[in-house]
Structure 1
Amino acid sequence: MIIPYEMIEPETLKSLVEEFVSREGTDNGYDDALAKRVAQVLSRLKSGDMVIVFDQESQTPNILHKDVARQILSEQDV
């Protein structure tokens, strides 16, 4: 299920994006680098290039490129 980013409270959205850009050791400890990566992801969400997907089975959100999200969702419909 794709969740429009506008439906998420701003602080929750910020936390979700921060968690996303910090995954798998990508956080280098510099706040400005984190802020820059968060801004980039937020920009891509606003442009529609990336989307927030909620997995009902695991009850977790994720951020994916729009094409990847559509592919996954179409495979689940089969």
Structure 2
Amino acid sequence: MLIPYQQLDAMTLNNLIEQYILREGTDYGEVEFSLQQKTQQILAQIKNEEIFIMYSELNESVTLISKQEFKQTQNK
């Protein structure tokens, strides 16, 4: 089930994004971004519907999922 970001408290949304970033690991690219910069980038992707907030009833958990990953789960 998708959860519209507007339904989440700002602090909850921020914590969810930070948890996602920290789970994804370290960047090894040419430019290093701060946690705050990464959080703003992910928030922009959520607002542009490139990333969705998904609740799993099976696992009783919330995660962020790319639009492409979401489409793949719908085709199964």
Deviation at 1:24, TM superposition (A): 4.7
How many angstroms apart in 2 are the aligned matches of 1:25 and 1:35? 15
How many angstroms apart in 1 are the aligned matches of 2:22 and 2:38? 9
Residue identity in the other structure for 1:53: M
Q: Identity rate of aligned residues, in percent?
A: 28
After TM superposition, what 4+ stretches of structure 1 lie above 2 angstroms from structure 2? 24-27
How many angstroms apart in 1 are the aligned matches of 2:51 and 2:18? 15
Residue identity in the other structure for 1:12: T
Aligned equivalent of 1:8? 8
Could you state the TM-score of these two structures normalised by the residue count of structure 1? 0.81
RMSD in angstroms over aligned alpha carbons? 1.7
1:52 maps onto 2:19 in alignment:
no
How many aligned residue pairs are there?
71
Deviation at 1:70, TM superposition (A): 2.5
Gapped regions of structure 1 (runs ≥ 5): none
- Greater helix percent: which structure? 1
Deviation at 1:17, TM superposition (A): 0.2
Gapped regions of structure 2 (runs ≥ 5): 28-32
Deviation at 1:26, TM superposition (A): 2.6
